[in-house]
Amino acid sequence: MTGIHWSEMVFAGATFLVLTVYHAYWVHQLHRSPFQTYQGLARHLRHMWVESVMKDKRDILSVQTLRNSIMACSFLASTAIIIGLGLLSFIFKPEHIAEIPFDPAQIFSHMRALFLAKILLLILHFFFAFFSFTLAIRYFNQMNFMINVPVDCEPMLTPKFVSKTLDLGMTHYTLGMRSYYLAAVVTLWLFGPQWMFLGSLILVAVLYRLDHCCYIDYSAAVCDIKKKEQVQE
């Protein structure tokens, strides 16, 4: 057993730094210029959708839309827990190591504990994805009841309040998808720290394209919730 190679520490730290800096920048952009990100733009449009559904009482549309989201979350949660439990089975049954299509001696040449730590980190990503998607299902189920309650029956169930519940569900959905994306980087770590660092750079480039969009001015929109809230105040 030899010590951990310096490349494991250097590339692991560089990967963590790259992913942390990007997501910190993304969160900052989401709060400072939300309409320059797809997450902020989608949140704004969801608020408008909730207000439209509750105002026009389009019950069937709301139920069908939320049902599609619940089905997607159910599939992704099931996939995450199956992969996570499969990796646990791999850890607790060493005879499965002989079935992998590459030489395990190259992986265990540095330290067996490091390889197990990589697998455990990968398991944590899929378990986190499972809990994120199940929480998203919870909020979507609540939305099925809340969005169909007439506003006159319960003053607290305003479009703003219902939209926040929907935002919580979509936030957990986003966190679950991020866990899937980051799990791909951790998987590359099994083949070497250099591959992990290269994968993190490619992932950041892809996420930037997915997370950001051109600036869209909604100041002249007819159905702008922020303007309506200011008028009511």
DSSP per residue, 118-135: HHHHHHHHHHHHHHHHHH
Q: What is the pLDDT of residue 232?
A: 41
φ/ψ of residue 212, rounded to 5: -120, 150
Cα separation values, 220 from 55, 212, 225, 226, Å: 21, 22, 12, 12
Structure confidence at residue 53 (pLDDT): 83
Amino acid 107: pLDDT = 46
Report residue 90 as tokens. 């791999």
> Where would I find the H helices in 33-111?
38-56, 59-92, 104-108
Could you state, in chain order, the average pLDDT of each consecutive group of 10 residues for the chain (233 residues)? 66 89 91 86 87 80 87 95 88 58 47 76 94 95 83 75 89 94 91 89 92 62 49 42
Instruction: Identify the pLDDT of residue 78.
Output: 95
Q: Can you give the pLDDT at residue 159?
A: 80
Q: 212: which strand partners?
A: 37
Whether the Cβ atoms of residue 34 and residue 44 lie closer than 8 Å to each other: yes
> What distance in Å separates the CA atoms of residue 102 and residue 107, rounded to the nearest whole number?
9
Contact 39, 30 (CB under 8 A): yes
CB-CB contact of 185 with 200 (8 Å): yes
Residue 155 tokens read as 């003053």
Amino acid in the structure at residue 16: F
Q: What's CA 54's distance to the chain center, in Å?
A: 28
Looking at residue 194, its amino acid is Q
Tokens standing for 17?
A: 């730094």
Domain limits, the chain: 6-232
Let me know: does 169 contact 147? Beta carbons within 8 Å: no
